[in-house]
Amino acid sequence: MAESFAFEIAAKVLEKLGSAAYERISLAWGVREEFEKLKLTLAAIRAVVLDAEQQQARSLELSLWLQRFKDACYDVEDLIDEFEIQALRRLVLKRGSTGRKVRHFFSGSNPWAFSFRMGYKIKKANEILNEVAAEKAKFHLTEKHETNVIRRERETYSFVKTSSVIGRDEAKQHLVNFLMNPTDGEDIPVLPTVGIGGIGKTTLAQLVFNEESVKSHFVLRIWVCVTEDFDIKQLMIKIIKSATGRECKDMNKEESHKVLQDCLNGKRFFMVLDDVWNEDKKKWSELKDLLCGGAQGSRIIVTTRSRKVATIIGTTPQYDLEHLSYENCLSLFLKLAFKEGEEKQHDNLVRIGEGIVQKCKGVALAVKTLGSLLCSTRVQHEWELLRDSELWKLKQKENDILPALKLSYDHLPWYLKQCFAFCSVFPKDFEFNALFLIPLWMANGFLQSPYENEEPEDIGNQYIQELLSRSFFQQVEEEHILFPTLKMHDLVHDLALSVAQNEVNSCNHYSTGNVRHLWFDLSKQDASQLPKNLGCLQSLFLLDEEGKADKESLIAEVISRSRHLRVLHLSDCSLEKLPNNISYLK
């Protein structure tokens, strides 16, 4: 499922070039004419980019052409940002002393030197874009525009949260019986719940986890999202945090073990290990030995897509979570696509919805995603477009991205697509909130508004509500919290990685292209694994939970090679001081 993402990048750059603020800057620096040429060439290429993106899977040459265009767009964006920075610098200098002005004149960023240097860069950018424009003729591309976007009206950002999960009563009762019924033996009973991605394993486990009878039966309830590498130390840290709220990142393995024993000792606990992939029996035995201090009656439920995992860890027969019945799927779809009772007024849409639900093949996430998407439109043609899409004909492999998710992504406006794709830089199961995410979007220039005086934080909140309402984000915490904790479903994260393609390098994904956004964990990755080309880097998240690496010299090296950083995130990386060359960043 190849994506080039070129349309979104070009749209962002054209949006910047067309803004009133940039009009003033280009006039002030006398570069308006050159940038007008850039704008016209960019717009001409962008007009055929959607057609190119649809055809690129059949042509490597076309895919490379799109990559060149995308890289050229990023170069233009860097140029624009340099002008904005220089305009800000001018404002500051107006308020400064004469001595500072003289020093500034003789520095590398005096206005004449800057104009000369930037004039050369703009000329070079125009040359590259003209070459790209000349090449497009050989691909015989046609102009296409965003026609499939389902937009929401402003002020309609509420989303339906299903308070009761449909069609899982029998499954829920099976799990509750396992938790409550007494058993013999010293080992803690473990029940694996098995099913394909998106079928509702985690939702079922959450339902049982929050059941009142379960809450009162267990002294401790512990929820752990298990990463793919099944790191024992990290699992201990997560268990302790879930059980006590205590952070233990700075502890070594022995210290964590001691705290974990004290935490579980003599207590009847219920633990959910969500999304387990580990097939190494030794690692599982090691974790199980760490949990043996719990009281009689403790229980563990594991959710997994793998039958092999279930065989290794289960002490009772696995519970296979079946596909939802067609009736239950339709009920869930109608609940999400319409307000209560509204479907009676739209028989035509209900009939189309029935066809869409059949194509979801009993997968809850697929039903939920498309129901959430269609709740904002009553246009019959838009419902028919989803039902009749060619994407449904793709051969579905096990653990592939669901066609329903790709369909829903395709119907996002371009500015939401880039915000969503950016989130693939986070590891799977990463939890975040608006206070964390919106500044990252702001720094990368992703927030677009038709209203000049609108606050970027308000735009960012609208984007989050939009992605939440379309099931691209999930709410982890209760609704009444002001800034709820969010995360992405595994399959949604896979989709984000696929559309970001070579632009993102997270700890779960290694990229071969020009990496723009990098998540680098020094406790899991060696500095030699840093991408070779850091000149394109726009976001760097550097982590070092174990505090072993020589971070200062590494950060100094990264900064010397990354002059276009918009985000430098070091809060999970304990530092005594920052390297001096951080002052070179604009």
Task: List beta partners, residue 270.
Answer: 221, 299
How, if at all, do strands 319-320 and 220-225 pair? unpaired
Rounded CA separation 358/157 (Å): 28
CA atoms within 13 A on the CB side of 350: 14
Q: Give one DSSP letter per residue of 245-265, joined into a string.
A: ----TTS-HHHHHHHHHHHHT
| 127 C-beta neighbours (distance < 10 Å), count | 11
pLDDT tens digit at each of 586 positions of the chain: 445 578 888 988 888 888 777 777 777 777 788 888 888 999 999 888 888 888 887 788 898 898 899 899 999 999 888 888 887 777 777 766 555 554 444 444 566 777 777 778 888 999 999 999 999 888 888 888 776 777 665 333 334 454 457 889 999 999 999 999 888 777 899 999 999 889 999 999 999 999 999 999 999 999 999 977 788 888 998 999 888 888 877 788 888 889 899 999 989 999 999 999 999 999 999 999 989 888 899 999 999 999 999 999 999 999 999 999 999 999 999 999 998 889 999 999 999 999 999 999 999 999 999 999 999 899 999 999 999 988 887 766 666 678 889 899 988 988 899 999 999 999 988 999 999 999 999 999 898 776 667 888 999 999 999 999 888 998 886 555 678 899 999 999 999 988 887 777 655 455 556 788 988 887 777 777 787 778 888 999 988 766 666 777 788 888 888 888 999 998 877 777 788 888 888 8
Name residue, tokens 């991205």.
401
- Rounded to two decimals, the pTM is 0.85
**Per-residue model confidence (pLDDT) at position 106:** 41
The SS3 of residue 552 is helix
| Distance from chain centroid for Cα 340 | 31
**Per-residue model confidence (pLDDT) at position 154:** 39
Dmax (CA) for the chain in angstroms is 85
Name which of 564, 448, 535 is nearest 11 in CA terms.
Answer: 448
Cβ neighbourhood burial of 174 (10 Å; 0-12, 13-18, 19+): middle
**How many residues does the structure list for the chain?**
586
Rounded CA separation 585/354 (Å): 55
Confirm if 96 and 160 have CB atoms less than 8 A apart. no
Here the tokens at position 149 are 């976007």
- Evaluate the CA torsion angle 402, 404, 405, 409 in order and state its sign: positive
Rounded CA separation 298/293 (Å): 10
Name residue, tokens 């995130």.
569
**Per-residue model confidence (pLDDT) at position 572:** 77
DSSP 481: S
Cβ neighbourhood burial of 340 (10 Å; 0-12, 13-18, 19+): exposed
**Per-residue model confidence (pLDDT) at position 72:** 92
* Cα-only R_g, the chain: 27
Encode pLDDT of 470-490 as tens digits: 889 988 865 556 788 999 999
